[in-house]
């Protein structure tokens, strides 16, 4: 029999459902067993009680887009204050030097950083495979398994180098044969489609301006054949829309639709510059969007049309995006940023803290076509974040759940993934943070040394 844990009487709780869970939740094994209504008791005896009287309890946050390796090039001086394309062109030669040890330590750091921010399921979009590091996804899968983090690893790819009119240098592009055979291999080796899965593989050509139409199409065909999801960057900046029109003679969404990429197994990163008509088509097709507020602000990309996407039935999740464009991987901060950037586009009463929390939890699950995570309800995976409001800035806060978002938190006190405590007392369980930072800093210095 699995242990039954009652996370009791939280200061506030957001379950993502309309069920009463005022007295907390009971976790049994790796799933949520029951919600306990205010003033109530669990239906059966529990083995252990965790007092949540000082905590705001929410479903684990879901990060729908990231580039773990970019934690090695955060606040990199030559790339600061640049627009998307020159920013990418500055960083490609640095990333071309990635070695397996860089992938390993950056994955460990990014996953740990996210866990500490209340994140329990993370997607990564890895698309740089220099000859020195061909097995990046395998390394990521192994690190995630070791840490006990739930991941959606997207096998990125770039096949159009500068010689073919693409953006990246030749040293970071791969042949399409290699990309497809590696995609097949990774699905066979790592993809777990079962309920409660800890690792799924997704096919993810980097963007319309770094792969050919043939590769986009072949990826979509393989994804359908193997029943895996598809992911790419789309409509991030106006420059990208213009480049796409010039390059392939179509707007990005029309181009993607012509290649079999307007479907319910697809989610796009950013998804900012769409027309009303395009948003309607996306909703009808059931695609998802990874909304990356901080990255969009740092690169001045624009503001995602979250309300229109919601209304059209497009799944909206939140994402930190790469740490080179966001400079951190903090999901609870991203929830706040989603609220704030939303208020810039819409009226103050049109976007609430509930919307931001929903995008960060159930929205992300929907982007991943998963119904086993994203809410706290009986039968769902026991993925949750608990935040204490014990810092100066929270003093006097009237509504603890709203305070989490509008005042803004940055670190969870406790995090559970699949029924296991991964963060306790604000520290990652089983990880020596000082040692991790030291190893990561050394790796970052080594990677950027030739480019100073
Ligand atoms: Zn990205």
Q: Per-residue pLDDT averaged across 365-373, rounded?
A: 98
Read off the pLDDT of residues 260-276 as tens digits, 9 standing for 90 and up.
Answer: 999 999 999 999 999 99
Ligand 1 centre to CA of 260 (Å) is 21
Does the pLDDT at position 24 exceed 90?
A: yes
Q: Report the separation in Å between the CA atom of 291 and the middle of ligand 1, taken as the mean of its atom positions.
A: 10
pLDDT confidence of 164, banded at 50, 70, 90? confident
- At residue 83, the pLDDT reads 84
What is residue 1's predicted lDDT score, i.e. its pLDDT?
78
Predicted local confidence at residue 322, as pLDDT: 84
Dist. CA 183–CA 186, nearest whole Å: 5
Identify the band that residue 209 occupies on the pLDDT scale cut at 50, 70 and 90.
Answer: confident
In tens, the pLDDT along 314-324 reads: 999 999 998 76
Q: What are the tens digits of pLDDT across the range 388-401? A: 999 999 999 999 99
Average pLDDT over residues 243-270: 95
Give residue 220's pLDDT.
98
Q: Residue range 427-441: average pLDDT?
A: 97
Looking at the DSSP bridge assignments, the partners of residue 14 are: none
Q: What is the pTM of this model?
A: 0.97
Q: For residue 329, how far is its CA from the centre of ligand 1 (angstroms)?
A: 12
**Which pLDDT score, from 0 to 100, does residue 137 have?**
98
Q: Ligand 1 center to residue 377 CA distance, Å?
A: 31
Domains of the chain: residue spans and CATH: 4-59+380-428 (2.30.40.10), 61-367 (3.20.20.140)
Q: How far is the CA of 379 from the centre of ligand 1 (A)?
A: 32
Write down the pLDDT at residue 113.
97
Find the 443 Cα to ligand 1 centroid distance in Å: 21
Half-sphere exposure of 183 (CA within 13 A, CB side): 33
**Cα separation, 383 vs 122, whole angstroms:** 12
Whole-number Å distance, alpha carbon 372 to ligand 1 midpoint, is 25
Residue 126 CA, ligand 1 centroid: distance in Å:
9
Tell me the CA–centroid distance for residue 51 and ligand 1, in Å. Answer: 39
Nearest-angstrom CA–CA distance, 94 and 99:
11
Q: Rounded to whole angstroms, how far apart are CA atoms 450 and 298? A: 26
For 303, other C-beta atoms within 10 Å of its C-beta total 15
Please write the tens of the pLDDT for every residue from 52-70: 999 999 999 999 999 999 9
Sort strands 414-417 and 384-388 into parallel, antiparallel or unpaired: antiparallel
Does the pLDDT value for residue 88 go beyond 90?
Answer: no
Distance of alpha carbon 27 from alpha carbon 47, whole angstroms: 10
**Whole-number pLDDT of residue 208:** 86
CA dihedral 67, 71, 75, 79 (to 10 degrees): -40
CA angle 188, 127, 140 (to 5 degrees): 55
């Amino acid at each position: 029999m699995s242990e039954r844990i009652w996370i009791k009487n939280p200061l506030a709780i957001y379950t993502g459902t309309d069920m009463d869970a005022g007295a907390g939740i009971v976790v049994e094994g790796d799933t949520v067993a029951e919600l306990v209504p205010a003033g109530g008791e669990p239906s059966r005896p529990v083995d252990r009680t965790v007092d949540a009287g000082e905590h705001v309890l929410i479903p684990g946050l879901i990060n729908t887009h990231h580039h773990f390796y970019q934690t090695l090039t955060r606040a990199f001086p030559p790339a600061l204050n640049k627009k998307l394309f020159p920013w990418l062109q500055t960083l490609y030669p640095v990333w071309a030097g990635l070695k397996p040890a860089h992938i390993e330590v950056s994955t460990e750091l990014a996953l740990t950083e996210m866990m500490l921010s209340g994140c329990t399921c993370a997607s990564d979009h890895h698309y740089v495979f220099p000859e020195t590091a061909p097995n990046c996804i395998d390394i990521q899968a192994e690190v995630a398994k070791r840490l006990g983090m739930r991941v959606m690893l997207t096998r990125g790819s770039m096949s159009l180098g500068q010689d073919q009119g693409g953006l990246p240098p030749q040293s970071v592009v791969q042949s399409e044969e290699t990309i497809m055979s590696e995609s097949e291999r990774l699905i066979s080796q790592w993809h777990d489609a079962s309920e409660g899965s800890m690792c799924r593989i997704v096919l993810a050509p980097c963007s319309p301006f770094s792969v050919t139409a043939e590769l986009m199409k072949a990826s979509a065909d393989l994804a359908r054949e193997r029943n895996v999801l598809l992911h790419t960057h789309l409509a991030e900046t106006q420059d990208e829309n213009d480049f796409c029109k010039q390059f392939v003679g179509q707007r990005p969404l029309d181009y993607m639709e012509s290649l079999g990429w307007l479907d319910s197994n697809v989610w796009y990163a950013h998804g900012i510059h769409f027309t009303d008509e395009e948003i309607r088509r996306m909703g009808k097709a059931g695609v998802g969007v990874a909304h990356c507020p901080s990255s969009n602000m740092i690169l001045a990309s624009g503001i995602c049309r979250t309300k229109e996407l919601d209304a059209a039935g497009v799944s909206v999740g939140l994402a930190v995006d790469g740490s080179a464009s966001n400079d951190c991987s903090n999901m609870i901060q991203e929830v706040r940023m989603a609220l704030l950037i939303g208020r810039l586009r819409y009226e103050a009463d049109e976007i609430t803290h509930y919307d931001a929390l929903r995008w960060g939890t159930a929205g992300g699950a929907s982007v991943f076509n998963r119904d086993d995570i994203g809410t706290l309800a009986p039968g769902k995976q026991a993925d949750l974040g608990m935040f204490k409001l014990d810092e100066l800035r929270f003093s006097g806060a009237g509504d603890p759940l709203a305070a989490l978002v509008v005042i803004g938190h940055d670190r969870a006190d406790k995090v559970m993934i699949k029924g296991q405590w991964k963060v306790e007392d604000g520290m990652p369980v089983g990880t020596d943070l000082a040692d991790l930072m030291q190893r990561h800093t050394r790796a970052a210095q080594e990677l950027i040394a030739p480019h100073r």
